[in-house]
Structure 1
């Protein structure tokens, strides 16, 4: 258990009213007033410290200021009070969204049990420090490729529905609607309001972005604000918001401020518009310009078509005036004569070839007949064969009893040799000599 014991300063005596956990119990509880006095005594021993933060609340009541400071790196908050005398010494007019360095001292109000910090001095946070942080973040995101043109998504030519993230009842909303509807009257919007400065800017803008990105009807998302002090635009250079924009699947258009206001959102978004009016002009085409363009294209198409038809008609007339088209039979007559000559030549050539072939066939047939053994056999000669097919050329080849086959002019005769017979030379010798 934490001990709420006020530590006395050097030379001071301990507060006898201070309560200690050992001094209280369920049977003997201490009072709320004594507990608050103990806490106040403990808090008053803290010295003043300089803190850095963003003003998220700045309410002036009775000449005093009651507000809150938010940590720049987290959601931690502290309540602050600026008394009128201190406020008069402050040269700057502080407001919500400013980033400041303040000298604060803890204070605990016994009566209400409120814990806050009293501000004794405050000055704006150096712009150089902010720019240095932004430049470091810019370099980091560039190294990760979030600024690359290759990853940026194209905006559709004519979006059916535009998602708009802006402040409620803001001039930026009016500018986008008015200029878009003047250019294309049937354009549709889905608007999600979000704080455009202060501590709610980043979380509300991210939530609105996620809502519109999840809507399949939304073709493009515009984040619009009508410019302002650079301090008020720091939310649009927040790393969480920038990464959410880079991760969105729907194209995102940044329309923050004017030409001189360049938050990091301009570099991460898919399209950067210098103003909300410029965003409307970039998103939707001008219906009058499109109608004029359509009319111009129709006129050019009609002129080209007329020119083409006239050219084709002239070409056709030129072809029709040619002699061959005026009397097509003349061209056919020339081809007819040439065809007749070729056919005649072909017939003569075929006939001569056939006659030459017939004569050559007759000559070969006569030569074949003259050389054929059949002609010799037809004149009365015969050929004797042994069983093995050998021709008998010598009587010694067929001793008595040798079977033979005798071939004559018409057919063959089976014979049996009776041995050699002595006879004078006659036609048989002549036949053998012819057969070789």
Structure 2
């Protein structure tokens, strides 16, 4: 914003009526020269003021400078001149686009009727104040987290298309193209031109950034400028541009200035390159380096595979040299002998067990046969049964005319009881001798 600081003047300006000569009438008009002298006399009473703005014109003629100073916010401008005697005391690097303050005094040229301002002093003032404001903004943005490494996006290994924002026909554009194409000949660019200093720098750069960020084929965006003094780089510390870069979804590379330049764009970008040449080297890989790396990796892979195969072959040979694998039939033969021995032992044990059990069975058979009623019947005894199967143990059980079934060693036959008879002690009806087995129940 243009600011004014008035110096003390000798007195207040005269009333507006005093500008017009008092003796001027339609019948007796004043002359043009007298009117211009009157205007000059009125303007000469104004004091000098300090004004802030941007130099938009700087024309050197005959050692004198004729230029224009533009307001930093609006489009208001003033014309100024610097006489050669005054120019010798001013900084030698003043030029179009500089942000300056100047001590000016209004002047009116009587001969031409032109109004302008004479400059008695001009300098790049406000740079210290601007740098102070810049540092305050840096602290604010850092507190908001815009500089945090965690929010920085990684660059693609090999971008499909590189977006480039730079000045038209600038050295920075040539450096980026040349170095990127040397490293990767198939690299493609999509370039947007923007002013890299002055009042058009910020809006044009933001517009180019939004256009490239919206392009889906653009994988990374490089903002490049070939360095400059801190005054000319102030546009790349503008808060609007910094926040636009922070909001972009595409990775941003800042290649503004040289190694010692540090605009805010460097801090908020995803990668800071010291120069446009450095940006080109860091955005695309070097095809020669990648080929060398691939060759190195292939060599390492071949070496590791060879070592692994050699190691496995050695282990296999070691295993094959073991007796079990060198002559596996010997293991089978030894196991066969063991099996034959065990089988022989098993047969012997089975034979002994069968023999023992056979004897035991014979003994049990003899004992059973001795206790069996069949043995008793074989000795001539018989078993008498009533019709209901009851064994007759008492003669009274079979009175006369009772049907009795008699079982002998070989078969059975039916008889009819004649009743009880007297015991004679002889014959088949006699009682069995002591020790003989009784019929079972």
Return the TM-score normalized by structure 2.
Answer: 0.65
Distance in 1 of aligned mates of 2:347 and 2:152: 78
Between the aligned partners of 2:200 and 2:59, the Cα distance in structure 1 is 17
Written as runs of structure 1 = structure 2, the 5 A alignment for 1:59-138 is 59-60=59-60, 63-71=64-72, 74-84=73-83, 87-88=86-87, 90-93=89-92, 94-104=94-104, 119-138=119-138
State the Cα distance separating 1:334 from its structure 2 match: 4.4
> Once the 2 structures are TM-superposed, how far is the Cα of residue 75 of structure 1 from its aligned partner?
4.5
- Quickly say closer, same or farther: Cα 1:187–1:346, change in 2 above 3 A: farther
Whether 2:13 is the aligned partner of 1:14: answer no
1:79 Cα deviation from its structure 2 partner: 2.8
- Whether the 8 Å contact between 2:90 and 2:121 is mirrored in structure 1 is no
What SS is found at the alignment partner of 2:17? coil
1:245 aligns with 2:245: yes
**Post-superposition offset of 1:140:** 0.7
Is the 1:86–1:120 contact (alpha carbons within 8 Å) kept by the matching residues of 2? no
Residues 172 and 225, structure 1, Cα contact 8 Å, conserved in 2: yes
CA contact (8 A) 1:80 1:117 kept: yes
- Once the two structures are superposed, the pairs formed by residues 217-228 of structure 1 within 5 Å of their partners are 217-228=217-228
Tell me which residue corresponds to 1:316.
316
Which residue of structure 2 aligns with residue 306 of structure 1?
306
Task: Give the aligned partner of residue 201 of structure 2.
Answer: 201
**C-alpha separation in 1, matches of 2:243 and 2:389:** 119
Give the aligned partner of residue 210 of structure 1: 210
Distance, in Å, in 2 between the alignment partners of 1:115 and 1:208 is 40
Query: 1-side partners of 2:344 and 2:211: how far apart?
Result: 89
* Mapping 1:13-412, distance limit 5 Å: 14-15=17-18, 48-60=48-60, 63-71=64-72, 74-84=73-83, 87-88=86-87, 90-93=89-92, 94-104=94-104, 119-336=119-336, 341=342
In the alignment, structure 2 segments of 5+ residues that lack a partner are 1-10, 22-31, 369-387, 393-441
Whole-angstrom CA distance in 2 between matches of 1:224 and 1:10: 52
Please report the TM-score for the alignment, with normalisation by the length of structure 1: 0.66
Q: Distance in 2 between matches of 1:343 and 1:227?
A: 103
Contact 2:13/2:46 (8 A) holds in 1: no
- Secondary structure of the 1:190 match is strand
Contact 1:64–1:87, Cα closer than 8 Å, also in 2: no
Q: Check the 8 A contact 1:69/1:80 in 2, yes or no.
A: no
How many angstroms apart in 2 are the aligned matches of 1:16 and 1:299?
A: 95
Distance 1:185 1:10, change over 3 A: closer
Name the Cα RMSD after superposition: 4.1
The answer (yes or no) to whether the contact 1:86–1:121 under 8 Å persists in 2 is no
How many Å separate the matches in 1 of 2:180 and 2:344? 83
- Per the TM alignment, residue 102 of structure 1 is displaced from its structure 2 partner at its CA by 2.0
Note closer, same or farther for the CA distance 1:68–1:342 as it changes in structure 2 (3 Å cut).
farther
Q: Provide the rounded CA distance (Å) in 2 between the counterparts of 1:346 and 1:58.
A: 127
Superposed CA deviations along residues 208-260 of structure 1, whole A, max 9, x for unmatched, are 11111111111111111111121111111111111111111111111111111
**What is the aligned length?**
336
Specify the structure having the higher radius of gyration (Cα). Answer: 2
Give the whole-Å Cα distance in 2 for the aligned partners of 1:158 and 1:239. 31
Shift of residue 207 of structure 1? 0.9
